[in-house]
Each structure stands twice: as C-alpha cells, then as structure tokens.
Amino acid sequence: MLHIENPEYYTITLTVNGKELEKSVPSHMRLLDLLRNELHFTGAKEVCSEGECGACTIFMDSKTVNSCLILAVEADKSEIITIEGFPKENSLTELQQEFIDHHSVQCGYCIPGMVLSGEQILKDHENPDRMEIKKELSGNICRCTGYHKIVDAIEHAGHK
C-alpha cells in the first residue's frame, strides 16, 4: 500500500464483477487495495508489488493487468473482473475444471492469477502449444514451481 500525507479524494464509477459501483478513493490508492480492502475481493493477491509475479492479475476492460501497478483512479469507467467474477452463475469455466482435473493447484496463492492469464491465453490463441503457453504465462510466478500441471491444464482447455 502506498502512503501519503493529506490525501486527495476522487469519485470513480466502475463495474466490478458485473456490479456497478461508485467509490470515493484517495488518488494514491492502488486498484489492488481498492479490490481487496474496500470491496473485499481478495482473490487477487499481493506478492511482489512490482509487476513481476502476476498474483494480483485481474481483467480490466477484457485485458489481463497487474492491479498492483494501477491506481484506483485510473480504473474510473472501466470494467473489472477478478477471479470472483469467474465462474458466472456458479459453474466453473472449462479452464477452471481443467485446473482441478490436472491437480494444478498446490498452495493456491498464484492460482487466481494463473487462471486469469490462462483465460487470456485461450482468448488470444486457438489451440496454443506448450511453448506459447509458457511464454504467455511468463508474467505469473508459482513459487511451488508447479508449472507443469498448470501448463497441462491450459493446454487441455485449448484442445476443446
């Protein structure tokens, strides 16, 4: 979290996981802090705080981004989807089911980011190969080093 004396507040409107919200936020508040501390969507995690690890990955206007590198004020009028926004209507996405079937989850800390980056890969590539998946997952770190099964899950979801 960033700190500042005499914060300036701004009102923003945004859609988070399908719900329209209006919030007053200090200009220095990061989007990650808004999501976790104010809106209680704790799926996005804070780990490195500098865009290296991808644990804070969310969708912003249909693109994966690191929410630790974005101010809440920058998210004005944007559409945010966190891992809580997947699945819709209480059913898992194909990719989430593949993560379960391939035992891709160890400690789980990186998984919200991994799933969302996986969804982005499936949007960008039809039937991605393992090299493509690894390259496109390079912004997400798993410190259990369980990459093999994560790549398996994405590869299988891409075959469908």
Partner 1 sequence: MKYYTPSSLSELNDLFLQTNNSKITILSGGTDILPRWEEGITLPKHLIDLKKINSISGIVEHDNKIIIGALTTVQDIYKSELIKTKYTALHQAASQFAGVQIRHRATIGGNICNASPAGDLLPGLYVHNAMIELTGPNGTRKLPINKCITGVGKTTLNNNEIVSAVILEKTEELSVFYKLGLRQSMAISVVNFAIAYRQTSPNLFDLQSIAAGAVAPTVVYLKEFTKAVNEGLPLEKAISLIEHDISPIDDIRASADYRKTVLKNLLTHKLKELYV
Q: Three-class SS of residue 126? A: coil
Distance CA(9)–CA(26), nearest Å, equals 4
What is the C-alpha to C-alpha distance for residues 27 and 109, in angstroms, rounded to an integer?
A: 28
Our CB check for partner 1 shows the closer of 103 and 127 to be 127
Per the CB < 8 A criterion, the answer to whether 104 and 152 are in contact is yes
At 89, list the tokens: 């209507």
| Residue 128 CB, nearest approach to partner 1 (Å) | 12
Which structure tokens are listed for 153? Answer: 């899950």
Does residue 119 contact residue 128 with C-beta atoms inside 8 Å? no
Determine the Cα–Cα distance for residues 110 and 7; give it in Å rounded to an integer: 32
Give the residue with the Cβ less far from partner 1, 57 or 96.
Answer: 57
DSSP structure class, residue 7: P
From the list 63, 89, 145, 159, which residue makes contact with partner 1 (rule: CB under 8 A)? 63
State which of positions 134-153 bind partner 1 (CB under 8 A). Answer: 134-136, 138-140
Site string (29-48) toward partner 1, x via CB under 8 A: -x------------------
Return the number of the residue (8 or 101) whose C-beta is nearest partner 1: 8
81 interacts with partner 1 by CB under 8 A? no
**Binding flag, residue 159, partner 1 (CB under 8 A):** no
- 139: DSSP letter: T
Determine which residue in the list 22, 24, 40, 50 makes contact with partner 1, applying CB under 8 A. 50
User: What is the rounded radius of gyration, in angstroms, for the C-alpha atoms of the chain?
Assistant: 16
- Interface residue with partner 1 among 15, 21, 42, 49 (CB under 8 A) is 49
Q: State the residues that interact with partner 1 by CB under 8 A.
A: 2, 4, 7-8, 10, 27-28, 30, 49-52, 54, 57, 63-66, 68-71, 73-74, 76, 117, 120, 134-136, 138-140
